[in-house]
Structure 1
Amino acid sequence: MADAPRAAVVLIDGPSGSGKSTLADRLLADWPTDAAPQLLRLDDVYPGWGGLAAGAEQVRTGLLHARSAGRPARWRRWDWLGLAPAEWHEVAPDRPVIVEGCGALAGDAAAHADVTVWVSADDTVRKRRALERDAGGFDAHWDEWQAQWELYEVVERPRDRAQIVLEAA
């Protein structure tokens, strides 16, 4: 990452449980400390379990479009306990940003990024990882989320927008 632009934008997309968060964490840890990126997890943005498209749209327009246009970029956190929108977060225009989550490559998001990554894994492995990770919190919502994901994947074809494709083991 030593050659990364000072304000690089990295988008990491893929289905639940594929390893996006792990990749983002490793990328963040290996980034040069003089230009540490801001990390945005779409899990912090989705407005509830039915909010894949809305969360992706908020990041696409409020962060990526704004940043590309030189305007202040921001995103709004979703309070999962209160089930309501929470505080806004500013994104510094002169620092790199990593966006990871289902829907990161929605619409024209890739056009506003320096690096686009697709991470996938076997469906059985993904489901096991996702359900274990959330210690039961995701169990009742898996089918709803997976249906949104499958629609997003068919309509948007995000894998085709990725410069780097990784198949997690």
Structure 2
Amino acid sequence: MTRREVLPPARRWRAPVRAGKAETRSAVGHTTSAVPRLPRKADRSVAEALARRLRCGPPRLGPVRLVAVDGPSGAGKSTFARLLLSALVSAGTDAALLGTDDFATWQEPVRWWPRLRDGVLEPLRLGRPGRYRRTEWPDGVPVPGATFDVPVPELLLLEGVSAGRRSVARHLSGLVWMEPPSAAVRLERAVLRDGESSRGELLRWQLFEGNWFRSDRTRLRADFVLRT
């Protein structure tokens, strides 16, 4: 796998609506959830090209190829990860997608990691299904939500801020960095996704993640860089 390969820019398209409870169970467990909107051809071509490369990489999380899609908020991670999942499944790969938004809160943007590590990644490394309890946001307040099982896939896409953190690097078969546009553009994308009432929290989040990525040096370790 070529280190720090820069992929062509992906054309922008509206991020899909976040899955509801039943759809998320299917998406994590069986990799059959549909992408709500059809992407532009250029996006699909980039995802298909990357999927071909990732399918050939060696598994480093036990029997699982763990691939992280990381980058700042509003960079298009969720959109591209769903697209990549579709390309992998279409190519015959038993793939699953798990988002860090199922764990993170405003108060714990990255410290939730032990829940993912102990509940999902470590069991998968041992060839056993994982399990986790998703964070849900009724009335904008994070609370423990439904519990989900994660069967052992050939390839697990882990998408979200800090997905490619240094502590998991030795287990990654690939790290995709979403090269973001300006902070102002990213903020408006995130506000469109999460609502105007989240603007203040999103501004504080941008400040935090900027410091996080500088400390973690995530982009410098990326195998692929995708400009959006």
TM-score (norm 1): 0.84
**Corresponding residue of 2:201:** 141
Give the Cα–Cα distance (whole angstroms) in 1 for the partners of residues 205 and 198 of structure 2: 9
Identity over the aligned pairs, expressed in percent?
Answer: 31
Give the Cα–Cα distance (whole angstroms) in 2 for the partners of residues 164 and 22 of structure 1: 16
For the 8 Å contact 1:11–1:110, the answer to whether it is kept is no
Aligned length: 167
Give the CA deviation at 1:40.
0.9
**Corresponding residue of 2:220:** 160
The two structures, once aligned, show a CA RMSD in angstroms of 2.3
Q: CA separation of 1:128/1:94 partners in 2, compared to 1, >3 Å: closer, same or farther? A: closer
Give the Cα–Cα distance (whole angstroms) in 2 for the partners of residues 89 and 30 of structure 1: 24
Q: CA separation of 1:29/1:22 partners in 2, compared to 1, >3 Å: closer, same or farther? A: same
- Between structure 1 and structure 2, the one with the greater Rg is 2
Once the two structures are superposed, the pairs formed by residues 115-154 of structure 1 within 5 Å of their partners are 115-122=174-181, 123-154=183-214
Give the CA deviation at 1:57.
4.2
Deviates more, 1:130-139 or 1:14-23: 130-139
Give the CA deviation at 1:101.
0.3
TM-score (norm 2): 0.65
For the 8 Å contact 2:176–2:226, the answer to whether it is kept is yes
Q: CA separation of 1:7/1:137 partners in 2, compared to 1, >3 Å: closer, same or farther? A: farther
Q: CA offsets per residue over residues 35-61 of structure 1, 9 Å max, x none?
A: 342211111211x21221123443344
Give the CA deviation at 1:2.
5.0
Q: CA separation of 1:137/1:98 partners in 2, compared to 1, >3 Å: closer, same or farther? A: farther
**Corresponding residue of 2:96:** 38
Give the Cα–Cα distance (whole angstroms) in 1 for the partners of residues 73 and 152 of structure 2: 29
Unaligned runs of 5+ in 2: 1-50, 57-62
